[in-house]
A and B are shown apart, each in its own frame.
Chain A
Amino acid sequence: MHIGRRALNCAMAAMVVAMLAVTGCTSSSSGQKTANGAVIVNFWQQKFEDYQQAWFKQHVDKFNSSQKKVHINYLVVPADTWAQKLKAAQAAGKQPDVATTNYGAIPAGVKNGQFAALDGLLPAAALADIKDNVKGFVHVNGKHFAYPMLVEPSTVLYIRKDLATAAGLDPNTPPKTWAELVTWATKLTKGKVKGMTMASVAPDLGWSSWGLQYNACGHLPVSPDWSKPAATDSCYEKVVGLYRSLYQNSLMPRQPKVGYADATPYGQGEVAMMADGSWAVGQLKQTWPSLVAKTVVAPFPSVDGDPTKPTATLGGWTLTVDAKSKQKQGAASFINYLLAGDPKIMADFFQLTGFSKFTVRESVDQALAANKAATSDPFMKVIADKVVPYGKAEPAYPFDISLAMGKAIESAMKGQSSPGAALKTADTQIGRVIKQQNLAGTGPGK
């Protein structure tokens, strides 16, 4: 069979066209404009509680209709797909202009050149309005690289009053030490109801145990300048021992259906006590309002009963502007409207959360001062007075270090190794992370 040159050329041309169609030669939307001439700013929000998405959507719409210069394209991304979606977008140069970022990711992101400094993009008054104890979370090398939205402690103890009373315990005098907590959990475990629930898988244990690591040891398992691992300090065996006692004695669900952050087991009556972040207050108020009256909120017990030792880290969310964004000013104008502008907007947000999160701006505190619901909320008062003052900032080191500790706790909990052996493995892994990622000397301490 003979194929002519013309036929061959036609076939090649068709193939090239087909390949172009398959590869989808599109360009990034960054720098595009709407038909009305407004610049498009892409905003990605990690999915939180349902009411938060409604609140964001409402304010994105308000912002878009309030002016004609900037149009926000709002996208909600599920938490379990966030990391890979963002990374894939960064690789393709299609990352969002504005994104939700947690405090712990800011120092590393700044080091990588990921975030634009907001000084100069936001009014100086907006930056000055940030509370002093939060400024350090978003302030790196003398500049602000994120605008904070809220603060929430990672660990608070929730107790079912009715179940505690039925078990002969006084819910108004909650457990003060870890030993007492185990005793309470033992007494409250009856039939299918477990006494307690807290994290039991390595990724959750990695971050939710930060507060307890501080509590037992006064530091995290790495030297302050991040040059050496410190996971073999004997105090960490107490942290591991607490989780191990609760798990191996079946005082907590051995096969949890949801992660640490989700209050569902408590809401559905499967457990009598729960360690969870302050955000669980919002989930209880929204989803199981009848449980609110039956719940006591208390600081998580301390290793030795000292209530002034930290039991929680203060995490939370911010909005950041991407360093490669072509619409930095437009992105900043949206942040200024939503988080840094009229204090009523954020005051309404905190009301919506059921005061399960904490403000980061002086002006929002003032706006809430006249709000009786805010000042009289019993949960907020306990958390604000007894948990937040002793809370620590989230560590800024790579999550690999936290994960090594999470793996150690899980391994000892589930009987794969002794606490000592598990912590030794964690120490080796942390040393490896320090060496491979050149962390020595890059920590905040000396």
Chain B
Amino acid sequence: MYNDIIIDNFSDPQNVGDLDGADHELEIGNPVCGDRIKVRLSFTNNHINKAVFRAWGCATSVATANIFCSSIEGKTVKDIAQRQPHELEAMLGELEPSQHHCLNILAELHEKLAAQMNIGVA
């Protein structure tokens, strides 16, 4: 079963797409479950003004990609890197044990974004 956050973000993901002339790209893959997510970003004045994704994976990981993209628009990478683990948990809502790996996916997206932009995570 999926919680309402996952259902909303999976059944009608608003941030799916490509971004011509993207300023930045992130790509992650989970070797265990095989999920793959690619995120493209564009910046304006140090703020992410657009974040889109492509994902091949389970319902929760597709939802996770959408949650990540929608949550970073309008923010600086520095702000995003400040997020605490409990905040990431709240972003996905209550998960079943089989869905917990998506928390790792969300954390990895944050870590990779911060690392690629040379900003330490919280």
Q: Is the A/B pair a real complex? A: no
